[in-house]
Structure 1
Amino acid sequence: METSTDSAVEPGAPSTDSTPAGTPGFTRRALLGTAGAGLVIGAGAGAATALAVERRDRRAPAGADHQAGTAPGLGPARVAFHGEHQAGILDPQQARVQLAAFDLAGGVGRDGVRALLQRWSRTVARLAVGEPADEFENQIALDAGPCSLAVTFGFGAGLFEKTGLTEQRPAGLEPLPAFPADALDPARGDGDLFVQIGADDALVAVHALRVLQRQAAGTAALRWQMSGFGRTPGATATPMTGRNLMGQVDGTNNPRPDEEGFAAKVFVAAGGGQPAWLAGGSFLVFRRIRMLLDSWEALPVDRQERVIGRRKADGAPLGTPADAGERAPVDLNARLADGSLAVPADAHIRVAAPAANGGAAMLRRGFSYHDGLLGDGSPDAGLLFLAFQADPRTGFTPVQRKLSRGDGLSRFLRHEASGLYAVPPGAPQGGYVGQTLFD
């Protein structure tokens, strides 16, 4: 499916604040445009209709002075915790992610959840600027800067009933429908509280998760946890679109955040039929999608390309000239010399085209995962799919229905876990995430 994980930086794009920890002044979170789009595997991730955030190269510039024996680059980079929207939505995607969901303990009511969210918000605000946690600091990331740490919180449907807030439950949290070939494990999905922790250093992300988990003791227990990864900034000579575990360029042909209507596709508008507390927030769909890599890799490259509809080497649409590049427009009417369609009828980019999905759109941040081997010896590997949108009923659901019925790529995917969460707006200075709901 067409969406973006990594995208190249545009000339003049604002850089992430690299002020040393403890000094004042932060670069505000920037809306970033996509630089290219490619395949996004399965899960109805929004295909060519999905939105993307630009991935910037966070290395220190060439020739930058730094002390001998110290590495320039990723450590000091910061993402602001406070703001109109939560961190981890519009920011450049980090190289590592920890995803987790928690279930509330029995008898924990509204006041208990409020206290936990206040505690978590204070902690993340400190970690985001490279300061130690105010409690349960374990020194896992003692030597690292914030490394673009960004933490995003979401509320599952169960939280509203358990806290007596059923009247505030958003209509967009109605359960996702069952899709053909779903093989979902309930123990690895859903949950009352969801946390996305992104960072450019794995220890920084794990440290944040461990601290938050310990702070939740007695209020909420870990339900599930997963780890993912993407391309590390600076891994290529120049910023460029990355690839997923199928070897496909992952992130092409997405609408730009600076295009008209972008915010309306991603964020909940005031008075838009959702509760007032969610204005400026979003909805997040999570899917764990295993790729059948043994079967995929057994296909010749030309067969793989026809399944996707793009050349594997450069991401260019089939039917385009050799030098077209991945950003060349897709011509769904292009024909080969024998008269057959250059982009097959069940190719991923054809089924996922915006015209085929009524304009449904979402902003996707997907991470790869590889958790060893299954009992049959096949890789337990694939995509941790994350998509932010204004309403999943008009975003994820119709796109996934279309893909599950006619996408040739679906033969090589298994949807194994799922979650849906309301993502509250960002926390104001001195406030906490979820304040619009709990105060």
Structure 2
Amino acid sequence: MDGVDRRTVLRTGLLAGGVGAAAVAATQLASNREATPEEVAPSPPQEPPVTLPFRGPRQSGVIDEPQPFAAFVGLDLPKHATRQTCRRLMRVWTDDIERLMAARGPLTDLEPELAAVPSRLSITVAVGAGFYAAAGLAASRPSWLAPLPAFAVDRLEPDWPQTDLLLQIRADSPVAVAHAQRRLVVGADPLAVQRWVQRGFREPLTATRPGMPFRNLLGQVDGTVQPATHGPDDALIWLGAGEAPAPTGLAGGTSLVIRRIAMNLDSWDEVDRAGRENAIGRRLASGAPLTGRAESDVPDLGATDELGFPVIDPVSHMRRAMPAAPHERILRAPYSYDDAPAPGHRSNSGLVFVSFQADPVRQFVPIQRRLADADLLNIWTTPVSSGVYAVLPGAEAGEDLAAALLG
């Protein structure tokens, strides 16, 4: 089929017969006709697309500045999947993701123009315990790759179960996110089937103002205390970066915890500003602790007011979330959601909480246990889903994702 690309063949096949075939023929003839000088318009200068790297020892989407739009897609392998199924899926996704992140459509993309503006697109692939089981690797599964302990505040819903695979898709444009999501889900079929999608957003101005604090829909500055993303805190984030060896096939990867947290904004609206700040332990305007002026100020937990009461409530969110040991730090990358409410309700809003850490049992669980036991924000927030995944290492040149794991 010299001179006829794959897209033309697909289009022709879809429209073959009758008026459709005539339209294709007419379109082909028109495209072959040389344009007259009057029809030739000068092309505006094209700026190079803003892309993030795909190839390398680590995947993008972990320590990058979080983009304002995201989709988290949970997928399951078919019932009788094998290691070969997993290899085939990773080969398909490796090629498709590399193309999408480089501003090119996948081979089967009928709308490649949508891929031409990637808007700092990052696509991060993570796997659950079911992936290990299907690949016959249960014996090498990290001990932390398992459901989190049951917390008293959890009200987990069946619509958001733990899945075998997770795609984190983030970009500065919701179009880039939606297009990449569609192409990867369709491209995976029948090797993996979508179970759920959680979409989220952050303040878009963070794309042009790096470091701008993220505020959740309670108005709270979220994620103030973070480990450094380069240097001495690498061992808190990346597997194999510290003294402990990485689990087999995961050197350069990390773990991802995702929890969907519903917020009761109606009852939150009934709380005055002083009550809100007391529940959080920080000033809403600046994010500073109630004993300080700047967001980065160290809270004075011993400070008392004129009546002798603690300035920072012992069960405020900030106080309960503070690390009790140096290793109890996680890299937070949360997103808000605001979905259509059910009939008779005014909102369906909350937080898609996402964190990265080398060991969720050692780093995340102690924090969450303190929050579950006593946190004033529990009056207005309810976790409704929970999942733990292993973020795969990056793919070096010529490799597929999960190459070191699948052999």
Q: Match for residue 436 of structure 1?
A: 404
Could you tell me how far apart the structure 2 residues matched to 1:305 and 1:397 are?
Answer: 25
Report how many residues are paired: 365
Secondary structure of the residue aligned to 2:96 is helix
Q: Match for residue 152 of structure 1?
A: 124
The Cα shift of 1:256 comes to: 2.3
The Cα shift of 1:314 comes to: 1.4
2:269 to 290, 293, 297: 297
Could you tell me how far apart the structure 2 residues matched to 1:428 and 1:237 are?
Answer: 31
1:243 aligns with 2:215: yes
Query: Which one-letter code corresponds to 1:242 in the other structure?
Result: F
Could you tell me how far apart the structure 1 residues matched to 2:331 and 2:350 are?
Answer: 19
Q: Match for residue 240 of structure 2?
A: 269
Q: Match for residue 319 of structure 2?
A: 350
Could you tell me how far apart the structure 1 residues matched to 2:246 and 2:314 are?
Answer: 38
Contact 1:79/1:91 (8 A) holds in 2: no
Secondary structure of the residue aligned to 2:258 is strand
The Cα shift of 1:319 comes to: 2.4
Q: Match for residue 92 of structure 2?
A: 119
**1:174-213 pair list within 5 angstroms:** 174-213=146-185
Q: Match for residue 332 of structure 1?
A: 301
Q: Match for residue 37 of structure 2?
A: none
Could you tell me how far apart the structure 2 residues matched to 1:179 and 1:156 are?
Answer: 20
1:97 aligns with 2:61: no
Structure 1 residues 235 and 177, CA gap change in structure 2 (3 angstroms): closer
Contact 2:135/2:406 (8 A) holds in 1: no
TM-score normalized by structure 1?
A: 0.78
Secondary structure of the residue aligned to 2:262 is strand
1:81 aligns with 2:50: no
Could you tell me how far apart the structure 1 residues matched to 2:287 and 2:130 are?
Answer: 41
**1:318-397 pair list within 5 angstroms:** 318-320=290-292, 324-355=293-324, 359-397=327-365
Greater gyration radius = 2
Stretches of structure 2 lacking an aligned partner (at least 5 in a row):
1-41
Could you tell me how far apart the structure 2 residues matched to 1:291 and 1:212 are?
Answer: 30
Q: Match for residue 141 of structure 1?
A: 114
Q: Match for residue 386 of structure 2?
A: 418
Secondary structure of the residue aligned to 1:350 is helix
Structure 1 residues 208 and 237, CA gap change in structure 2 (3 angstroms): closer
Secondary structure of the residue aligned to 2:397 is coil
Contact 2:289/2:297 (8 A) holds in 1: yes
> Could you list the per-position Cα deviations for residues 60-119 of structure 1 after superposition, in whole angstroms to 9, with x for gaps in the alignment?
xxxxxxx998998xx822110111111100111001001101111132211121111111
Contact 1:130/1:145 (8 A) holds in 2: yes
TM-score normalized by structure 2?
A: 0.84
Query: Which one-letter code corresponds to 1:265 in the other structure?
Result: L
Contact 2:125/2:165 (8 A) holds in 1: yes
Secondary structure of the residue aligned to 1:186 is coil
Q: Match for residue 196 of structure 2?
A: 224
Secondary structure of the residue aligned to 2:181 is helix
Stretches of structure 1 lacking an aligned partner (at least 5 in a row):
1-66
Q: Match for residue 23 of structure 1?
A: none
Q: Match for residue 260 of structure 2?
A: 288
Contact 1:319/1:336 (8 A) holds in 2: no
Structure 1 residues 234 and 308, CA gap change in structure 2 (3 angstroms): closer
Structure 1 residues 338 and 140, CA gap change in structure 2 (3 angstroms): farther
Contact 1:284/1:387 (8 A) holds in 2: yes
Contact 2:55/2:396 (8 A) holds in 1: yes
Could you tell me how far apart the structure 1 residues matched to 2:327 and 2:118 are?
Answer: 37
Q: Match for residue 31 of structure 1?
A: none
Secondary structure of the residue aligned to 2:365 is helix
Q: Match for residue 404 of structure 1?
A: 372
Q: Name the structure where helix makes up a greater proportion of residues.
A: 2
Contact 2:105/2:113 (8 A) holds in 1: no
Secondary structure of the residue aligned to 2:279 is helix
Query: Which one-letter code corresponds to 1:162 in the other structure?
Result: A
Secondary structure of the residue aligned to 1:173 is coil
Query: Which one-letter code corresponds to 1:108 in the other structure?
Result: A
